[in-house]
Structure 1
Amino acid sequence: MKENKVFIGIGTNVGDRRQNIENALFEIGKIASIKKKSSIHETKPVGYKDQGDFFNMAIGIETDLKPIDLIIKLQEIEHKMGRVRDIKNGPRIIDLDILTYGNEIINEPDLIIPHPRMFERDFVMKPLKEITDDFNNR
């Protein structure tokens, strides 16, 4: 199978944020090869403000999973770690987003790639620019 170059955004603001990221990286490592990791950035919440600050980072992986299969696996990791989706932009123990998947453009009800709001979010772009030059003109 062809290995696809994928960038994933990771965020957390509940509990031990550093440990949440380490746990997520461990789980992602079971389904893909992690090639690059940004540093962790502490950021203010966007949208719903009545919550703690986030730790955000980006990783570059290689995987032979199709995009829809990858997002399903990432959502399974979120669920396993205790993610509850009850408040839009609300607190979360872990958030795993596919930012880009090779050069793919996907616009499906359950999956949009590239991530539709990534270019307007510094908490996504700053970590991403640490690990790739693909977006330095943005």
Structure 2
Amino acid sequence: MSEAYIALGSNMGDRESLLMKAIQRLHAQPGITVNRVSGMYETDPVGYTEQPPFLNMVVAVATGLTPLSLLRTGLRIEQELGRIRHERWGPRTIDLDLLLYDNVRMDQEELTLPHPRMMERSFVLVPLYDVLNVAHPLHEQVATSSVAATQAGKEGITLWKTINWLNESEPFES
């Protein structure tokens, strides 16, 4: 099994419910087990700023899927939860981005790993730091960037809620 990290975001509809449904759907997929779930963070929009704030988080999963299969599973879950792609960086019901897959580095038309812009985005770095395995080669860099982002108040990131993932079949909130 490989370990992968998936960022989730939502700023339309019941944001919290959509994030939890996406996590539950990921976990229900054959070949995917959600192991760790970050806190939910409310963040100011980046790029196109005339839209509601986002809720963002990251999950760590164990998977037997290839990186491309995992990406396509995330895209299918987005569609199932009502994602319609209108404009880049625009409002969305749900967004799932594959950030890291073990130590895999790849640059293909469909997928680039590690995610090419993740180190520029505190809305990714802060929740990623919550769940990133300390043995991962990027751990120290993510830790440093995450602390710097929260100290500077960069991109308006605020802890919204802590999520406890009890076991493989029963998530709950605290």
Say yes or no: TM over 0.5. yes
2:23 is matched with which residue: 15, 22, 25?
A: 25
The unaligned stretches of length 5 or more in structure 1 are none
1:88-127 aligned at under 5 Å gives the runs: 88-127=88-127
Q: Output one character per residue of 1:65-92: Cα deviation in whole Å (capped at 9) or x when no partner.
A: 0011111110000011110111110000
Taking the aligned partners of 1:22 and 1:137, their CA distance within structure 2 comes to 28
| Partner Cα distance (1:107, 1:41) in 2 | 29
Instruction: Supply the distance in 2 between the matched residues of 1:108 and 1:85 (Cα, whole angstroms).
Output: 21
- Quote the RMSD (CA, aligned, Å): 0.8
Which protein, 1 or 2, shows the higher relative CO under an 8 Å CA cutoff with sep ≥ 6?
Answer: 1
Residue 51 of structure 1: SS of its match in structure 2? coil
CA distance in 2, matches of 1:137, 1:46: 21
Identity %: 36
Partner of 2:143: 136
Cα distance in 2, alignment partners of residues 137 and 105 from structure 1: 21
| Paired position in structure 2 for 1:81 | 81
Please state whether the residue corresponding to 1:110 is helix, strand or coil. coil
Q: Report the TM-score, using the length of structure 2 for normalisation.
A: 0.76
Describe the SS at the equivalent of 1:88.
Answer: coil
Give the 3-state SS of the residue equivalent to 1:136 in structure 2.
Answer: helix
The CA distance in 2 between the partners of 1:34 and 1:80, in whole Å, is 19
CA distance in structure 1 between the aligned counterparts of 2:86 and 2:126, rounded to whole angstroms: 27
1:42 positional shift:
0.1
| 2:152 corresponds to | none
- Could you give the per-residue CA deviations for residues 22-63 of structure 1, whole angstroms, max 9, x where no partner exists? 110111011210111110000000001111000000110000
- 1:118 Cα deviation from its structure 2 partner: 0.2
Under a length normalisation based on structure 1, what TM-score does the superposition of the two structures give? 0.96
Shift of 1:137: 3.8
1:62 aligns with 2:62: yes
Whose Rg is larger? 2
Correspondence for 2:7 = 9
Paired with 1:113 and 1:66, the residues of 2 have a C-alpha distance of 12
Unmatched 5+ stretches in structure 2? 146-174
Aligned 1:26-41 pairs, distance under 5 A: 26-31=24-29, 32-41=32-41
Runs of 4+ in 1 over 3 A off after TM superposition: none
Aligned residues: 136
> Counterparts of 1:7 and 1:73 in 2: how far apart (Å)?
14
